A and B are shown apart, each in its own frame.
Chain A
């Protein structure tokens, strides 16, 4: 079975500061891992995905995430926050080769202060 834990339901940073959103996963089989962003009153938009190629994955809007098997983590980072990054971020896992059912975490709301 797969599960995802996102540490911190709210994260606040200043504009220009480092963004770090934490995600730990549990999976009985090699996983695919995803980060999605949700702006108010909108659906989810894919930021990036890990599918077993490079462990450091680059996504849209300057975000990247690193897959660390030893730590079962897939944390999302961005070197310099922008006001437009304020949104809800969801980490998700699916089981490779078996199903494309996504299991989502509970989300982290990112606030960016000027």
Chain B
């Protein structure tokens, strides 16, 4: 089966600019996650969707970050305006299970490496 696809792989922007990332999950996966991985740290969940509804966005900086999952499939994550501390790898993951069935593994894409100048 095809894995989780993310684009772009790399992005360099200046602070205060905007940027968007795209994710296409594995076909049939109900749940989609966006993680932020800062250099030297483990991934941190930003937002979790089940189909096209938001399950958890408690750690999403809503003043500058937004995300949507149109029609319960693809998702985009946007940052506007970007700050220096947003430099990180943004990982998208998907899983087959619905919320509460946490033994379903999450499958990760290769991520987008964002550098803010």
Chain A interface (Cβ < 8 Å from any Cβ of B): 4, 9, 32, 34, 36, 41-46, 49, 51, 90, 92, 94-102, 104-107
Contacts and interface: CB of A to CB of B under 8 A. Distances in A.
A99 B102 contact: yes
B24 interface: no
Contacts, number: 71
28 contacts: A9-B40, A32-B103, A43-B4, A43-B110, A43-B111, A44-B91, A45-B108, A46-B107, A49-B105, A90-B42, A95-B102, A96-B103, A98-B102, A99-B55, A99-B56, A99-B102, A100-B95, A100-B97, A100-B102, A100-B104, A101-B45, A101-B56, A101-B102, A102-B43, A104-B43, A106-B41, A107-B40, A107-B42
A99 B41 contact: no
B40 to A, nearest CB: 7
A102 to B, nearest CB: 7
A34 B108 CA distance: 14
A99 B99 contact: yes
Contacts of A94: 102
Q: Looking at chain B, what size class is its interface with the partner chain?
A: 20 to 34
A83 to B, nearest CB: 22
Interface of B: 4, 31, 40-45, 48, 55-56, 91, 93, 95, 97, 99-111, 113
Contacts of B97: 100
A41 B9 CA distance: 9
A2 to B, nearest CB: 11
B103 to A, nearest CB: 4
B26 to A, nearest CB: 12
A106 B40 CA distance: 7
Contacts of A43: 4, 91, 93, 108-111
Task: Give the 5 A-B residue pairs with the shortest CB-CB distance, closest first.
Answer: A104-B42, A43-B108, A100-B102, A51-B103, A94-B102
